[in-house]
Amino acid sequence: MRTIEDLGNLEGKTVLVRSDFNVPLDDQRVITDDGRIRAALPTLNKLINANAKVVVMAHLGRPKGQVKPEFSLAPVADRLSELLNRPVRLASDTIGEDAHRAIAAMSNGDVVLLENVRFDKREDSKDDAQRAELAAEYAKLADAFVSDGFGVVHRKQASVYDVAQLLPSAAGDLVFKEIDSLSKATKNPARPYTVVLGGSKVSDKLGVIDNLLGKADRLLIGGGMGYTFLKAQGYEVGHSLLEEDQIDAVKNYMKRAQETGVELLLPVDVVIADKFAPDAQRKVVSATEIPADWEALDIGPKTAELYAQKIADSETVAWNGPMGVFEFEAFAEGTKAIAQAMQDAHGFTIVGGGDSASAVRNLGFDESKFGHISTGGGASLEFLEGKTLPGIAVLGDE
């Protein structure tokens, strides 16, 4: 994989950088977690210090190929400017007149942010020719391309994949760090290697489970996906999240885990609620005794302790997906316990997944005590699954 250093002297060169600024916004369009913007700073500062003209492109949300003001990168430009401690001019388009004008007016070390790349439907088109056409327009803007949006490298999109083929291109520091850290779980992981999986849907994570059954020593299952496993074992799960159509797949995984000697653990106790609400009535029950008219919204304390022990006794731990509805304080304990165990672990710890990373930050944990907190959701999962990510492959062999 080529790095920024491989691009040579960048003084006075216009460098197009793809970053991942897809941050969560509240109703007032205030950024609620700026982790992804912070993660982009090392690359941007490196290019600024190299006296390049730094042109950044990114997406926000899913405007589906239309210019929609509510998906403008304006809040990101403001936050980025604060964090870089220098002006960031937001161009009102991506390849249009304003972008060209803004770039023409740049001095060395300046930063311009182009407007949401997904305002153009060719950006994520399935049609190669359409993407290539747009990528050719991107390429006209710059002398070199740096791919630093790790959260999008699993996507074959014009600003990620196609443009990298048209300009001298390299991985930015964030992408490099992500691959370097995540590789500790995929290439000869130190053992025992434990994977903690949670989140809402089994169907989102089938690929990971499938792939990890051949790699991990232990799989600890929690979160909403756990109830499909409990149901597959014949237990009542009440109104808990359940994917009936995944029961067969889950049965098959449990069988394969047994055959291959992978320790697959399910919750032994759960926290149940009489409704899906922050002020619901709350009870701890055995995982095999969920009443038919209640729903489980978190793992229970015995499960949390058991999983924490398994994490403490591991050399590599990868965690994806919250253990419960951590957005409700009453059902955040399980997720907190896992985050705490990860923070205290002596093994190398990786947190992947947008909601999991937000949970770690928003529940007040010390990010520096984790081995690696990935900025990627789908990208980190696909990497852990062992898939080839197009946005990485295009940057040259490792």
Find the binder of ligand ADP among 189, 238, 377, 391 (CB under 6 A).
Answer: 377
Find the binder of ligand ADP among 355, 379, 389, 394 (CB under 6 A).
Answer: 355
The interface mask with ligand ADP, positions 238-257, x = CB under 6 A, is ---x----------------
Q: Using CA atoms, how far apart are residues 330 and 326, in angstroms rounded to an integer?
A: 8
Q: Given the complex with ligand ADP, which of 320 and 375 has the nearer CB atom?
A: 320
Smallest distance, Å, CB 371 to ligand ADP? 17
Residue 201 annotated among the catalytic residues of the structure: yes
Q: Which of 77, 146, 151, 76 is nearest to 357 (CA)?
A: 151
- For residue 111, the tally of other CB atoms under 10 A from its CB is 22
Catalytic residue among 35, 222, 354, 377: 354
- Yes or no: say if 319 and 208 are a contact pair by the CB < 8 Å rule: no
Q: Using CA atoms, how far apart are residues 234 and 6, in angstroms rounded to an integer?
A: 57
Q: Does 354 bind Mg ion (CB under 5 A)?
A: yes
Q: Does 224 bind ligand ADP (CB under 6 A)?
A: yes
**Nearest-5° Cα angle at 300, 295 to 301:** 160
Q: Does 355 bind Mg ion (CB under 5 A)?
A: yes
Site size toward ligand ADP (CB under 6 A) is 20
Return the CA Rg of the chain: 22
Q: Using CA atoms, how far apart are residues 288 and 286, in angstroms rounded to an integer?
A: 5
Q: Does 202 bind ligand ADP (CB under 6 A)?
A: no
Among positions 324-353, residues that touch ligand ADP (CB under 6 A) are 324-325, 327, 353
What letter does residue 55 receive in the DSSP assignment? E
Q: Using CA atoms, how far apart are residues 193 and 103, in angstroms rounded to an integer?
A: 48
Close Cβ partners of 272 (under 8 Å, ≥ 6 residues apart): 238, 282, 283, 284, 285, 290, 291, 294, 295, 296, 297
With b for 16 or more beta-carbon neighbours within 10 A and e for fewer, the 192-204 pattern comes to bbbbbbbbbebeb
Q: Pick the stretch among 61-69, 126-134, 228-236, 346-354 that binds Mg ion (CB under 5 A).
A: 346-354
Q: Pick the stretch among 45-53, 55-63, 170-178, 320-328 that binds ligand ADP (CB under 6 A).
A: 320-328
Helix (H, G, I), strand (E, B) or coil at 18: strand
Among positions 162-201, residues that touch ligand ADP (CB under 6 A) are 198-200
Alpha helices in the chain (DSSP H): 35-49, 74-84, 97-104, 128-139, 173-186, 202-212, 226-232, 247-260, 301-312, 333-344, 354-362, 378-385, 390-393
Find the binder of ligand ADP among 19, 125, 169, 356 (CB under 6 A).
Answer: 356
Q: Pick the stretch among 131-139, 270-278, 354-362, 386-394 that binds Mg ion (CB under 5 A).
A: 354-362
297 binds, among Mg ion, ligand ADP, none (CB under 5 to 8 A by kind): ligand ADP
Smallest distance, Å, CB 44 to ligand ADP? 25
Q: Given the complex with ligand ADP, which of 7 and 197 has the nearer CB atom?
A: 197
Q: Does 376 bind ligand ADP (CB under 6 A)?
A: no
75 binds, among ligand ADP, Mg ion, none (CB under 5 to 8 A by kind): none
Residue 214 annotated among the catalytic residues of the structure: no
- Yes or no: say if 206 and 246 are a contact pair by the CB < 8 Å rule: yes
Q: Which of 395, 362, 321, 383 is nearest to 151 (CA)?
A: 383
Catalytic residue among 38, 201, 256, 282: 201
Q: Using CA atoms, how far apart are residues 40 and 35, in angstroms rounded to an integer?
A: 9
Q: Given the complex with ligand ADP, which of 93 and 204 has the nearer CB atom?
A: 204
Residue 378 annotated among the catalytic residues of the structure: yes
Find the binder of ligand ADP among 142, 296, 342, 373 (CB under 6 A).
Answer: 296
- Yes or no: say if 306 and 253 are a contact pair by the CB < 8 Å rule: no
Catalytic residue among 13, 18, 35, 36: 36
Find the binder of ligand ADP among 75, 189, 300, 321 (CB under 6 A).
Answer: 321
Smallest distance, Å, CB 190 to ligand ADP? 23
Q: CA distances (Å), 356 to each of 5, 194, 321, 395, in order?
A: 32, 16, 5, 28
35 binds, among ligand ADP, Mg ion, none (CB under 5 to 8 A by kind): none
Contacting positions for Mg ion (CB under 5 A):
354-355
Contacting positions for ligand ADP (CB under 6 A):
198-200, 204, 223-224, 241, 296-297, 320-322, 324-325, 327, 353-356, 377
Question: Active-site positions?
Answer: 36, 201, 354, 378
